[in-house]
Structure formats: structure tokens, C-alpha cells
């Protein structure tokens, strides 16, 4: 009998939740008077991705506040995010987020969050801890920061958004696009910074310029020793930004084994099927309920990871 490929699907729940919230906000899905569009978008994305990836193990990671250790390095880390989105009802966001996590747990998926820790660091820990024990790890996120975790066994899928298809980032694609191997992406981002996370980098240097500097000088240390006018005098900002963009892959409090994140799909005749159907129906997700428990969601109908689009525009 052919051995089944062991494959972890590790999901950036926070990123996908907010993508769903913003992407579907104008549709205003509700059930019993309560907003549910972000919940629906998140669950639908995860369900579709499970069908494509066919994982043996699944973990959904969520932020629990801002990164404590990054704020120690730079108190202004991620400052101003609420100010940039004044139209968002944060009570509504919190309610839908809690509902999403409750439903994911009810569906048998392992959900993990830890106070003062971001989902990115949880995902980095999963990759560091289990990459040698499985055949593949697939990271589902719309966040480019997680590309630094890519290896010959680990790759990233950006889920579909609107008319844009799913997109795969693997080791070779990173090397072709950035000119460096994945673990060196933090050199580029330390120079360019990140406006969304309020990581300073060097003002006036974007990602394309940072890529050119690394290609010209070979590494970030040589860039900082160069006489480039934009760089001179900004060494401390770059060193700090490097620490901020680097993921923490050693979360000692994360007490999870591979068995804890094993994915056991619920078929229509399985013992847990009635409970799963009930929890989805109670929340107004009857269409997803039928897909989740009919068995068709988990059937591989010829969709393969290698078929995902590689040449989508940035």
C-alpha cells in the first residue's frame, strides 16, 4: 500500500479573517440579525483550501494582541492601525472573530493563540518544530511576511480573492523574484520597512530598491557599509527593523504534538456528523454544512497544488 503523504496545513487565521471582513463587508451577510460575513468568508476559504491541499494535519493560528517582544523593541510597532480604519465597528469584529474560532473548534480543527503572541510566530514555531517530521507544510495566508519560512518542504499559498486565483510561493519562486533565498528576505524588508506594521526601515527605500541594493552589495551588512546616500546614518533603524521582521520560531509555551493537530474529516456517516451539521445550521451556514458533511468537500477531484497559479501579479 502506498504511504500517504503527511502534510500540515497551517492557517493564518487572523489574516484570513480580516481579508474576509474587508472583502465581504459590502455584502453584509447576517443571520438572526447578527453580522456573519467575515465568519462565512473565513470558513469558506479554509474549507476550499482543505479540499485543494488534502492535509493530514491542520492548525489555525490567531493573534492575541500585538507582539509583546516586538513592542519592547519598538513601542510604536503596529501603532495607528485603529486610526487607519475608523469605519470599522470593532465590537462587531470581535464578535465575528469569536464566533469564527468557536465554529472552527466545533468542526474539529485545532485553534491556537497565545497572549502577546502573533499568528506569524505560532506558524513559524510549527514549521521549525515539525518540518523534519512530515513530508510537506503548506502555509495559508495573504501575508508576504511568512514567505521567509519557505523551504524545499514548506511553501505558501495565498488564497483566492475576488477574481484572483490561489497563488503558490515556493523556494524557486522566491529566489527568482527577490534574488535571495527565503530565509534572507528579512534583509530586504529590514531596509524597506513595512508601513502596515509601522516598521521603519529606511524612509524612501521601497522593496524594489532594497532588492537592488542586496543584489549590488551581496548582503545587508555590505549595504550598511556602503556609501549609498539613502543608507548612510540609518544603520540603527535597519538593525531594529531586522529584529522586528524576523519571526520567532521558539514558543516554549506552545504545547502541541503532531497528534494534537491531526485532521480527521467528518464524513456523512461518521459519528460526529450530526453535531457538525447542527453547529453549522445553528449559525446559518447550511450550504457549507452540506459541503462539510457530505464527503464531497474532502474528495480530491484532480485539483493539485502544482496547478496553482504561479505568475499572478503582485
> How confident is the model over 104-134, as pLDDT tens digits?
988 889 999 999 999 999 999 999 999 999 9
As for how many domains the chain has, the answer is: 2
Give bridge partners of residue 59 from the DSSP assignment: 10, 110
Residues in the chain: 314
Domain that holds residue 293: 7-171+251-302
Asked whether residue 116 falls in the same domain as residue 70, the answer is: yes
Asked whether residue 112 falls in the same domain as residue 48, the answer is: yes
Predicted confidence (pLDDT) per residue in 223-242, tens digit: 999 999 999 999 999 999 99
* pLDDT at residue 208 greater than cutoff 70: yes
Nearest to 314 by CA among 211, 203, 199: 211
Q: What is the pTM of this model?
A: 0.89
CATH at residue 44? 3.40.50.1010
Q: Which of 245, 264, 284 is the last residue of a domain?
A: 245
Which grid coordinates belong to 273? 456528523
Q: Which of 245, 276, 291 is the last residue of a domain?
A: 245
Asked whether residue 66 falls in the same domain as residue 162, the answer is: yes
Residues 81-88: contacts with CB under 8 Å, at least 24 apart? 81/196, 81/198, 88/21
Domain assignment present for residue 221? The answer is yes
Domain assignment present for residue 310? The answer is no
Nearest to 75 by CA among 84, 83, 66: 66
Asked whether residue 13 falls in the same domain as residue 55, the answer is: yes
Asked whether residue 280 falls in the same domain as residue 202, the answer is: no
CATH at residue 230? 1.10.150.20
Asked whether residue 99 falls in the same domain as residue 185, the answer is: no
Amino acid at each position: 500500500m502506498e504511504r500517504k503523504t503527511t502534510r500540515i496545513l497551517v492557517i493564518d487565521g487572523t489574516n484570513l479573517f480580516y481579508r474576509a471582513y474587508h472583502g465581504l463587508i459590502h455584502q453584509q451577510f447576517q443571520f438572526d440579525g447578527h453580522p456573519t460575513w467575515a465568519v462565512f468568508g473565513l470558513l469558506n476559504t479554509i474549507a476550499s483550501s482543505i479540499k485543494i491541499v488534502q492535509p493530514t494535519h491542520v492548525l489555525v493560528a490567531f493573534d492575541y494582541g500585538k507582539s509583546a517582544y516586538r513592542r519592547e523593541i519598538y513601542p510604536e510597532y503596529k501603532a495607528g492601525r485603529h486610526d487607519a480604519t475608523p469605519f470599522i465597528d470593532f465590537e462587531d469584529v470581535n464578535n465575528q472573530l469569536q464566533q469564527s474560532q468557536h465554529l472552527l473548534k466545533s468542526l474539529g480543527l485545532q485553534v491556537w493563540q497565545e497572549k502577546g503572541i502573533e499568528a506569524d510566530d505560532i506558524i513559524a514555531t510549527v514549521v521549525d518544530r515539525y518540518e523534519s517530521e512530515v513530508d510537506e507544510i503548506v502555509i495559508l495566508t495573504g501575508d508576504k511576511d511568512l514567505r521567509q519560512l519557505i523551504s524545499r518542504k514548506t511553501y505558501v499559498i495565498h488564497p483566492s480573492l475576488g477574481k484572483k486565483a490561489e497563488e503558490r510561493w515556493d523556494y524557486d519562486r522566491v529566489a527568482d523574484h527577490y534574488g535571495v533565498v527565503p530565509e534572507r528576505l528579512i534583509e530586504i524588508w529590514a531596509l524597506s520597512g513595512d508601513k502596515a506594521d509601522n516598521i521603519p526601515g529606511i524612509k524612501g527605500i521601497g522593496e524594489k530598491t532594497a532588492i537592488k541594493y542586496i543584489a549590488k552589495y551581496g548582503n545587508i551588512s555590505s549595504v550598511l557599509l556602503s556609501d549609498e546616500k539613502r543608507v548612510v546614518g540609518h544603520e540603527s533603524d535597519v538593525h531594529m527593523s531586522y529584529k522586528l521582521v524576523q519571526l520567532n520560531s521558539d514558543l516554549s509555551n506552545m504545547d502541541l504534538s503532531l497528534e494534537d493537530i491531526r485532521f480527521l474529516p467528518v464524513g456523512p456517516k461518521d459519528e460526529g456528523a450530526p453535531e457538525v451539521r447542527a453547529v453549522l445550521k445553528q449559525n446559518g451556514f447550511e450550504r457549507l454544512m452540506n459541503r462539510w458533511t457530505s464527503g464531497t468537500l474532502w474528495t480530491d477531484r484532480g485539483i493539485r497544488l502544482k496547478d496553482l497559479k504561479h505568475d499572478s501579479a503582485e
